[in-house]
């Protein structure tokens, strides 16, 4: 009897235990275990940032210039008195506007003859602005090549200009000490073998030819311009390319074998499951994140420990020259603030220019470039080779820091009506000295607050019209007023 009872009790216990196991313990165990890695042949080949000198240089650029130039520049985003920007269209995409017959667009190259193109002047303007690197459109989606290509007739040699524009740009910028990156659109509207998707056997056969064409053109570019520091890929979002992960992987490795240290962003490859930028395991494919286009991360957590750059248009959108710029035009101060914000979050900021077909820039762009350069001349110490400082963001602006320096830079954009800027160093760091970057002999008054925070009180005269930089020299340890408190 007792025995039977015991047995019954035992099975009840077992029943409950099993119940508990399945409802609570098992899910808890499986959740606490790291998700199993998906085995990928064509996923990320490196976890975390590159650690070599070429990438360190890239990381230190801070500010770059993007240039979109091609036969679309001749139309300037307008056709038959209508502006593509009025319907939200980007000028370099005008061929895809149903107002424009393809026959008209595809004959534009016959008029491409930039009489006032002066590559040395372009490079001088970029240098004065403070740009450390250039990304230049060698071929945009329309397929027109600004270099003489052995693999298509649709190139600069058939224009009245004839000369190799890519070479002229690469040489002038390289001579000015600005690193050159080549923009290349994989999507090519001019090529008969380009496909948006691979639905039939014929599509795949055609696209195989297209892949070889792409590889040939890129090889040609790197062989012609061996000083190229990297490639900026675009037009890689279609299914045809997403289904070509193995190819884009081998292509990347091939290109890197041609120029050691070559830098390629995350917009080239897809993994074998069709994921772009990050693979099925959430790891970045490429040397830096290329997804920050016309947007800037809010916090350091948003960049997931990756290198990144943000490319930005001065008008609301549109990269090629547009007679009528779209929406809001960013002011110099906005562009400087974006530069500071990007650098403070460990990224680079790249400002786009869309020269006219004659080779000259819009007056607005010239003015922006000049004003940015004037500011950079005084303050670039807080931009070049600077990174995330790790301090809690405050409303007045952005912190930046150089690796290995006991200094934090405050790039101040918004002075509060109180005139007092709050700072809060990270644990075990305190501010020893504060002064203006522009006049180091002039010390600023620092009032120490509780919890390691401080106020910097600005005089009326300092509540400036231009963003300015304050240097904080830091030391390790606790802020003094705190030590005193600890003793009492």
Task: List binders of ligand JFZ among 102-141 (CB under 6 A).
Answer: none
Query: CB-wise, 92 or 365, nearer to ligand JFZ?
Result: 92
- SS3 breakdown of the chain: % helix, strand, coil, rounded to 5? 35, 20, 45
Per CB under 6 A, 154 contacts ligand JFZ? no
Phi, psi of 63 (to 5 degrees): -130, 135
Ranges assigned E (strand) in 140-237 = 179-185, 230-234
Q: How far is the CB of 350 from ligand JFZ (least distance, A)?
A: 9
Query: CB-wise, 90 or 421, nearer to ligand JFZ?
Result: 90
Question: 175: exposed, middle or buried (C-beta count within 10 Å: 0-12, 13-18, 19+)?
Answer: exposed
Query: CB-wise, 60 or 291, nearer to ligand JFZ?
Result: 291
Task: List binders of ligand JFZ among 40-79 (CB under 6 A).
Answer: 68
Secondary structure letter of residue 457 according to DSSP: E
3-state secondary structure of 78: strand
Q: Figure out which of the listed residues 52, 111, 153, 293 binds ligand JFZ, where binding follows CB under 6 A.
A: 293
Total residues contacting ligand JFZ by CB under 6 A comes to 9
Stretch that binds ligand JFZ, among 85-93, 104-112, 150-158, 448-456 (CB under 6 A): 85-93
Per CB under 6 A, 319 contacts ligand JFZ? yes
Q: How far is the CB of 254 from ligand JFZ (least distance, A)?
A: 24
Neighbours of 455 (CB within 10 A): 16
Per CB under 6 A, 182 contacts ligand JFZ? no
Query: CB-wise, 164 or 234, nearer to ligand JFZ?
Result: 234
Contact criterion met (CB below 8 Å) for 80 and 152:
no
Q: How far is the CB of 70 from ligand JFZ (least distance, A)?
A: 10
Secondary structure letter of residue 38 according to DSSP: P
CA angle 238, 154, 196 (to 5 degrees): 15
Stretch that binds ligand JFZ, among 90-98, 243-251, 254-262, 455-463 (CB under 6 A): 90-98
Query: CB-wise, 135 or 360, nearer to ligand JFZ?
Result: 135
Phi, psi of 18 (to 5 degrees): -60, -40
Place of tokens 């002039």: 442
Q: How far is the CB of 200 from ligand JFZ (least distance, A)?
A: 27
Cα 32 to Cα 17, 22, 23, 411, 464, distances in angstroms: 20, 15, 15, 42, 53
Neighbours of 200 (CB within 10 A): 10
Per CB under 6 A, 90 contacts ligand JFZ? yes
CA-nearest of 324, 264, 314 to 294 is 314
d(CA 405, CA 7): 73
Stretch that binds ligand JFZ, among 89-97, 208-216, 382-390, 412-420 (CB under 6 A): 89-97
Task: List binders of ligand JFZ among 230-249 (CB under 6 A).
Answer: 234
Task: List binders of ligand JFZ among 357-386 (CB under 6 A).
Answer: none
Q: How far is the CB of 229 from ligand JFZ (least distance, A)?
A: 18
Place of tokens 């786009």: 352
Query: CB-wise, 312 or 458, nearer to ligand JFZ?
Result: 312
Q: Figure out which of the listed residues 67, 77, 92, 184 binds ligand JFZ, where binding follows CB under 6 A.
A: 92
Distance from first CA to last CA of the chain, Å, rounded?
Answer: 73
Q: How far is the CB of 293 from ligand JFZ (least distance, A)?
A: 5
Q: How far is the CB of 143 from ligand JFZ (least distance, A)?
A: 13
Contact criterion met (CB below 8 Å) for 213 and 187:
no
- Determine the number of helices (DSSP H) and then strands (DSSP E) in the chain: 13, 18
Q: How far is the CB of 49 from ligand JFZ (least distance, A)?
A: 21
Written as one string, the DSSP assignment of 128-144 is HHT--EEEEEEE-TT--
Stretch that binds ligand JFZ, among 14-22, 86-94, 328-336, 426-434 (CB under 6 A): 86-94
Per CB under 6 A, 289 contacts ligand JFZ? no
Q: How far is the CB of 164 from ligand JFZ (least distance, A)?
A: 21
d(CA 269, CA 284): 10
Query: CB-wise, 66 or 391, nearer to ligand JFZ?
Result: 66
Q: How far is the CB of 469 from ligand JFZ (least distance, A)?
A: 30
Per CB under 6 A, 311 contacts ligand JFZ? yes
Q: How far is the CB of 321 from ligand JFZ (least distance, A)?
A: 12
Per CB under 6 A, 325 contacts ligand JFZ? no
- Residues with Cβ within 8 Å of residue 143, at least 6 apart in sequence: 152, 154, 185, 188, 189, 190, 191
d(CA 67, CA 231): 14
Contact criterion met (CB below 8 Å) for 221 and 270:
no
Q: How far is the CB of 270 from ligand JFZ (least distance, A)?
A: 14
Query: CB-wise, 90 or 389, nearer to ligand JFZ?
Result: 90
- β-bridge partners, 274: none
Q: Binding residues for ligand JFZ, per CB under 6 A? A: 68, 90, 92-93, 234, 291, 293, 311, 319
């Amino acid at each position: 009897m007792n025995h039977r009872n015991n047995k019954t009790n035992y099975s009840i216990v077992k029943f409950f235990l099993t119940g508990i196991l399945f409802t609570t313990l098992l899910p808890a165990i499986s959740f606490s275990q790291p998700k199993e890695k998906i085995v990928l042949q064509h996923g990320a080949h490196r976890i975390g940032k590159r650690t070599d000198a070429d990438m360190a240089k890239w990381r230190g650029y801070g500010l770059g210039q993007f240039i979109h130039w091609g036969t679309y520049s001749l139309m300037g985003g307008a056709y038959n008195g209508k502006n593509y920007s009025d319907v939200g269209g980007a000028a370099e995409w005008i061929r895809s506007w149903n107002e424009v017959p393809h026959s008209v667009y595809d004959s534009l190259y016959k008029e491409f003859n930039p009489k006032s193109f002066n590559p040395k002047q372009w490079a001088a303007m970029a240098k004065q602005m403070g740009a450390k690197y250039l990304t230049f459109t060698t071929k945009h989606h329309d397929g027109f090549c600004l270099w003489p290509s052995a693999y298509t007739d649709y190139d600069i040699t058939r224009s009245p200009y004839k000369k190799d524009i890519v070479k002229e740009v690469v040489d002038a910028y390289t001579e000015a000490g600005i690193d050159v990156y080549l923009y290349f659109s994989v999507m090519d509207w001019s090529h008969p073998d380009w496909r948006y998707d691979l639905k039939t056997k014929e599509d795949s056969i055609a696209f195989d030819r297209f892949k070889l064409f792409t590889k040939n053109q890129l090889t040609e570019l790197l062989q012609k311009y061996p000083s190229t520091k990297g490639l900026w890929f675009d037009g890689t979002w279609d299914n045809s390319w997403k289904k070509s992960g193995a190819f884009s992987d081998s292509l990347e490795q091939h290109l890197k074998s041609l120029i050691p240290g070559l830098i390629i962003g995350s917009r080239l490859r897809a993994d074998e499951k069709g994921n772009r930028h990050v693979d099925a395991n959430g790891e970045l494919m490429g040397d830096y994140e290329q997804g920050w286009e016309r947007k800037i991360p809010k916090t350091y957590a948003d960049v997931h420990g990756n290198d990144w750059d943000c490319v930005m248009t001065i008008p609301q959108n549109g990269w090629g020259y547009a007679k009528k710029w779209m929406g809001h035009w960013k002011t110099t101060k906005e562009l400087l603030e974006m530069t500071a914000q990007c650098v403070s979050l460990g990224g680079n900021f790249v400002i786009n220019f869309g020269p006219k077909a004659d080779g000259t820039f819009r007056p607005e762009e010239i003015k922006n470039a000049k004003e940015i350069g004037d500011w950079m001349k005084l303050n670039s110490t807080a931009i070049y080779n600077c990174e995330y400082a790790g301090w809690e963001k405050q409303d007045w602006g952005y912190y930046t820091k150089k690796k290995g320096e006991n200094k934090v830079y405050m790039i101040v954009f918004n002075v509060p009506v109180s005139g007092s800027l709050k700072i809060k160093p990270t644990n075990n760091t305190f501010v020893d000295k504060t002064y203006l970057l522009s006049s180091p002999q002039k010390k600023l008054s620092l009032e120490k607050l509780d919890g390691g925070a401080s106020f910097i009180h600005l005089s009326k005269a300092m509540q400036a019209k231009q963003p300015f930089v304050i240097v904080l020299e830091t030391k390790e340890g606790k802020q003094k007023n705190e030590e005193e408190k600890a003793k009492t």
